[in-house]
Structure 1
């Protein structure tokens, strides 16, 4: 139990259902959907649509999503890949011939075709109870009538002002009066409201065909993009087999490549050989082991992960016990490794949603446009912010993540799911671009090894190895910082909080749910 004399919050406890998101309006919309007879999938898509309006820097219908789903509490995890693909005309040779040395972070060449709307439509049809029009109604309301800008949203919104001003349509919508809205301001997106109404009426075809698709394709082509109407019309998500490992008696499930989810599983496999539970959870030794395991796992992520429809990825080998033993042997408890290549891991803006309903349908749902306001390209009439996932591609034709026609890029957003003894235990996720595998592992080990409840596990201070430095949040004790320095780590304070997350824990014996939402964001968990 937490010390109530210190700032913080208790986890949310309920019996019927719990929803946890990174925005109060999104969580409320999910709860209202559940109480109106919707299930966890209806509520998750409703929440994601609302966040595409009220957290426009993080997500939207111009982005992608990944979903892990356990119907009625079963341990069989369904996985859906709702990430989009490169245009049919996108080849390494085309970019090299035009003088590109890498894919740009912004602009039309950073845009892959959005997969979210197709995924939402398919998942509602297969697993929901409500119509697309019903789940989009709250988002339409906020886009049309306005919403109050929350504090973390305002904090994130201010940073990309320069990038937004470079696109006249983005500036018109997202820099009213020439500047980013402040916390407490009311913001509206009438163009997006009209677009959502079309999708509500026409379904996925309303987005990928007709006037909305024409608006997006025309703008991308004006900016030099290779996108075509055929690329949009052909968009289709897939059910895929999740990848899994066992840690501390729990089965931990992630999305397979093109997703980076196996990076977290690699970290867990390496850490399983150390007895973390006997260490100080905020001490130098525990944090050092986490950092070193992460450095090894990310090295393999960058070496092997790509779209498995285009390249083979040795998933079975990477997740084997023998391979974990080999990696673990490289770690010195007293000294940071010096032989690994440099890691540069950009952050991103993402929303993660965790929901369990009264039937114990459990959904782990993540949706994103990647960088803040994605590519910075906005449909002039549709108001759609287009993602910049294409910037993750490589221009080395031999690399597994090299750009190719119809190929999906290596993707950072990763939902998580924990199961045990034939039942789902917890949908969970931690946002933050490259940080996400670290975040998943920190959350899980906080709970499994150190006995924290979900809220304590999310509240706990974090570290992240990036660009030859260790970013340590202010909550890391001074003696731990010194212990990391003695081991050879260079410590810096991060410019932004490390990630943000949600989780809902199921106690089958008591018949209860425990929900948590990260204080690094504006969100909350609610239940009834």
Structure 2
């Protein structure tokens, strides 16, 4: 009898352990629980930045203060994706006005660099690295615009954690160590790079303490002297002098004349939810165009991961990206027909082009009838910030002004050199931008602040996150962990035209039978590892005010609250 009860005990213990070990999500992919907190939440791509954001909130700062502080830390600990040499975009939900505010913090091309210069060099595309793709870095001005409108704590307090980490050092994470080392072959030849990022003759390895005294000094000047310390002081003079030495065109006058622009976010309703993006020169409205087309199909009935869902999504993406290639540009130079492009009427017209059993080799843009970081924060008062910031290609152009501790962006590479193109290069013009923050409201109340880093993948991933939650019933964490669909090869804002239909990359987790069915429809499948984005999100329960946070395992990110 004793042996019998011992056997039953062992069986029960084994059974209960198995259930405790396997978190049942009802999904075919691995996930984890959402982070849930009442007073504040932060989700960034680096745990150190997330913790700094929470510290700022606990100190009495608001979501805007926390977002700026986290961004400053990310510029130090994740230089492979962002920094003050790059641009910034943000969407802010202000709990006082109960309204969304959009900030375009992107910089302009050098006024002295004329399009004819590229012709003389015989170029049909702006180079990826070196002095020519450099445009004015807008991030710092973006910080101060956000702070002036919504900030609570002094900027000196907000930047203090980043300054301390830059001076005292921090342990480099595995992913960042990998990407920093990969950058050496492309950027190591440019003056200033090695002295900043290779103090021991190489980039830091995983777990090694890395210090950036140049960036600490730069942050200190900004904290005490404000945005003018960056755009009109010694920092601007050093940047201008360095660029001249490298044969570049970015000048002191370009920096001194820079200013961000407050813009009205634009939206489209998807099955009762208002999805908000910023208008061009960014690509955010491509996500709205995709969703408008997808709303006309029974997405839920298709089922997540089905060949019909993937086929329809990819074709909707192709349609949106052809418009992206033709129309998206700096609105100061060409008027993008935003209202028409994100209208339901236009989506109905475009939907008719999709064939259920055949992949299109190409679509024409419709006629007009009328590496990056993302972070999000939320505070006890209901303010929420959706912020994205980038140098464009990983660490940027390679232009590393001496002693300042950061690299200038290469966003200017995204201009087209065809004279009649909407996005054609011009002096003093903002280039097409890939980085896009997103926000969702329901019944006029804030519901979701989110973003997915990853260049041209971002509108595709924005749309997938929304469909994962609304059509497929996934929770906030599952929506980010679900395997993703990436279509590459559409026409580009730089002028390249799609002619062969491009190709699909499916993250692991989709059935082989689905892949085979897609090939039979004419799609080309190709494996591309590491290009499926980096997701962060905060969701607010409108009844209780409780926050839900999510961050995925594709990056080093962390969602945390208190």
Compute the TM-score of the two structures, normalised by the length of structure 1: 0.96
Q: Which moved more, 1:72-81 or 1:411-420?
A: 72-81
Equivalent in the alignment of 1:424: 446
Count of aligned pairs between the two proteins: 522
User: In structure 2, do the counterparts of structure 1 residues 222 and 259 end up closer, same or farther at CA, with 3 Å as the change threshold?
Assistant: same
1:161 lines up with 2:184 in the alignment: yes
Match for 1:242 among 265, 268, 292?
265
- For residues 330 and 545 of structure 2, the distance between their equivalents in structure 1, rounded to whole angstroms, comes to 40
- Equivalents in 2 of 1:37, 1:505: separation in Å? 21
Deviation at 1:67, TM superposition (A): 0.5
Is residue 391 of structure 1 aligned with residue 425 of structure 2? no
- Larger Rg, first or second structure (1 or 2): 2
Distance in 1, Cα, partners of 2:506 & 2:204: 30
C-alpha distance in 1, partners of 2:468/2:545? 23
Structure 2 counterpart of 1:483: 517
In the other structure, the counterpart of 1:331 is 354
In structure 1, the residue matched to 2:277 is 254
For residues 89-100 of structure 1, what are the structure 2 equivalents within 5 Å?
A: 89-100=112-123
Paired with 1:513 and 1:484, the residues of 2 have a C-alpha distance of 39
Whether contact under 8 Å (1:110, 1:389) holds in the other structure is yes
Equivalent-residue separation in structure 1 for 2:206 and 2:98 (angstroms): 42
CA pair 446-90 structure 1, distance change in 2 beyond 3 A? same
Task: Give the structure 2 partner of residue 507 of structure 1.
Answer: 541
Task: Provide the secondary structure at the position in 2 that maps to 1:511.
Answer: coil
Q: CA deviation at 1:90?
A: 2.4
User: Which of 374, 380, 387 is the aligned partner of 1:365?
Assistant: 387
In structure 2, distance between residues paired with 1:481 and 1:176:
47
Match of 2:376 in 1: 354
Asked if the contact 2:452–2:536 (Cα under 8 Å) also holds between the matched residues in 1, the reply is yes
Greater alpha carbon shift after TM alignment, 285-294 vs 46-55: 285-294
- 1:129 corresponds in structure 2 to 152
- 3-state SS of paired residue (2:385): strand
SS at match of 2:387: strand
1:471 is matched with which residue?
Answer: 505
Which residue in 2 is equivalent to 1:345? none
Q: Secondary structure of 1:426's partner?
A: strand
Alignment pair present for 1:62 and 2:96: no
Once the two structures are TM-superposed, the CA of residue 75 in structure 1 deviates from its matched residue by 5.4
Query: Is residue 532 of structure 2 the alignment partner of residue 498 of structure 1?
Result: yes
The 5 A counterparts of 1:403-422 are 403-422=425-444
The structure-2 alpha-carbon separation of the partners of 1:141 and 1:242, relative to structure 1 and needing over 3 Å to count, comes to same
Matched, 1:447 2:469: yes
| Matched ranges for 1:281-320 at <5 A | 281-320=304-343
* 1:31 and 2:31 aligned: no
Paired with 2:133 and 2:532, the residues of 1 have a C-alpha distance of 24
Once the two structures are TM-superposed, the CA of residue 201 in structure 1 deviates from its matched residue by 0.7
Decide whether the 8 Å contact of 2:108 with 2:430 is kept in 1.
yes
Residue deviations 1:56-86 (CA, integer Å, cap 9, x gap): 1111111100010111186531101000001
Asked whether the equivalents of residues 454 and 531 of structure 2 are also in contact (C-alpha less than 8 Å), the reply is no
Q: Is the 8 A contact 2:175 2:556 kept in 1?
A: yes
**Conserved? CA contact 2:31–2:477, under 8 Å:** no
Greater mean deviation of Cα atoms: 470-479 or 55-64: 470-479
Pick one of 208, 214, 235 that aligns with 1:191: 214
Aligned partners of 2:139, 2:59: CA distance in 1, in Å? 24
Equivalent position SS for 2:550:
strand
Deviations 1:470-498 (A, max 9, x none): 11112223222222222211111113141
2:237 paired residue number: 214
Q: Structure 2: any 5+ residue segments left out of the alignment?
A: 1-23, 366-370, 490-501
Q: Is the 8 A contact 2:446 2:542 kept in 1?
A: no
Worse-matched range after superposition: 3-12 or 492-501: 3-12
